[in-house]
């Protein structure tokens, strides 16, 4: 089934990027994402199986989705993930397949993921300091993450990105060491402004380390940064290169420089809900349709309705902001 009409919303934004969460489970406990204990996960029977995920991705590809990012929770805790990766990589129309992981299981799985057709990786790491890593994640897994990065680079993943959540009064001392580590290893850091998506409502504007402050620190302590000319306006990251030729670095500044006007992303949650925005309050139930015997056309119609109803963007900077009913781990990055 193909439908040439692009997935355009009422603001003229064309959607070609789908983020698929394959689980809400995770093997670490980042404080800005989930509580340390009493984490509520959806019943496993409610999680989409590989056939359902592949079917939805195939329908979406027929509607112009060309990029897929696999997320979680932590996607590498999902058993047999390379099987799904191979299926997604084989869907006609999918030109870009990426995955975001916390890296704890990466050393064991990098080869199988690469062989299955995965080529792009973002690894979430906020600090190289083992004590601070423990404070943030409540797990002593930094050595495993670093081993995973090493393995992924050796196996052939290129342009590996490091997603670093920038929480103020916590990671200022990590900004430069992480950037230097990335330069030495050919990685690219993506500094991500802390967003109000945590399960415990800890977020406060005063805890956001702003992109401009990080840019100033890197320029002062490493090398001036040069904005990348003609960047892809729909990419969430604002990209720079180091003037000394030491590589690239990016900033996902959702709070200080919202990029909603160019948003091209949709999200499918692990339990089969379609969300037109990370912060969406409402969502559409794909799973109930699929398990109810709906046709591909019915599911495509739901996707079109979802996109048609998409809002202009998050309201973090307006007095109207309402936190979404799901925390980050049950949406996926």
Enumerate binding residues for ligand SF4 (CB under 6 A): 259-260, 263, 265, 277-279, 313-314
Sign of torsion, CA 284 287 292 296?
positive
Q: Give the H/E segment covering residue 108.
A: helix 106-115
Q: Say if CB 35 and CB 66 are below 8 A apart.
A: no
Closer to ligand SF4 by CB, 72 or 247: give it.
72
Closer to ligand SF4 by CB, 287 or 314: give it.
314
Token pair 């600090």 is found at 127
Give me the least distance between CB of 247 and ligand SF4, in Å please: 25
- Rounded CA gap, 34 and 198, in Å? 6
Closer to ligand SF4 by CB, 151 or 165: give it.
165
- In total, the chain counts a number of residues equal to 333
Give me the least distance between CB of 260 and ligand SF4, in Å please: 3
Closer to ligand SF4 by CB, 187 or 279: give it.
279
Give me the least distance between CB of 174 and ligand SF4, in Å please: 25
Give me the least distance between CB of 258 and ligand SF4, in Å please: 6
Give me the least distance between CB of 211 and ligand SF4, in Å please: 15
- Rounded CA gap, 169 and 25, in Å? 28
Closest listed residue to residue 23, CA positions, set 69, 61, 74: 74
- Rounded CA gap, 217 and 226, in Å? 14
- Rounded CA gap, 114 and 95, in Å? 16
Closer to ligand SF4 by CB, 255 or 290: give it.
255
């Amino acid at each position: 089934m193909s439908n040439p009409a692009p997935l355009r919303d009422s603001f003229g934004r064309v959607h070609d990027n789908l983020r698929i969460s394959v689980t809400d489970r995770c093997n670490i406990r980042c404080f800005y994402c989930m509580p340390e204990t009493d984490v509520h996960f959806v019943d496993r029977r409610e999680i989409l199986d590989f056939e359902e995920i592949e079917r939805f991705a195939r329908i979406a590809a027929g509607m112009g989705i060309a990029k897929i990012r696999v997320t979680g929770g932590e996607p590498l805790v999902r058993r047999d993930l390379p099987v799904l990766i191979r299926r997604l990589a084989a869907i006609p129309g999918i030109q870009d397949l990426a995955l975001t992981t916390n890296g704890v299981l990466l050393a064991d799985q990098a080869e199988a993921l690469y062989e299955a057709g995965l080529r792009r990786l973002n690894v979430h790491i906020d600090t190289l300091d083992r004590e601070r890593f423990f404070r943030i994640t409540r797990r002593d897994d930094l050595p495993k993450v670093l081993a995973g990065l090493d393995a992924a680079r050796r196996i052939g993943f290129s342009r590996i990105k490091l997603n670093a959540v920038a929480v103020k009064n916590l990671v200022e001392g990590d900004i430069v060491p992480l950037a230097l580590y990335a330069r030495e290893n050919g990685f690219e850091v993506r500094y991500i402004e802390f967003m109000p998506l945590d399960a415990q409502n800890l977020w406060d504007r005063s805890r956001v380390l702003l992109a401009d402050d990080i840019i100033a620190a890197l320029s002062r302590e490493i090398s001036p940064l040069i904005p990348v000319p003609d960047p892809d306006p729909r990419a969430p990251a604002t990209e720079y290169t180091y003037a000394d030729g030491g590589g690239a670095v990016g900033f996902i500044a959702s709070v200080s420089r919202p990029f909603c006007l160019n948003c091209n992303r949709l999200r499918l949650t692990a339990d089969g809900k379609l969300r037109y925005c990370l912060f969406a309050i409402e969502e559409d139930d794909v799973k109930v349709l699929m398990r109810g015997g709906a046709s591909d056309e019915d599911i495509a119609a739901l996707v079109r309705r979802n996109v048609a109803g998409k809002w202009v963007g998050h309201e973090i900077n307006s007095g109207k902001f309402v936190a979404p009913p799901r925390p980050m781990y049950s949406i996926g990055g």
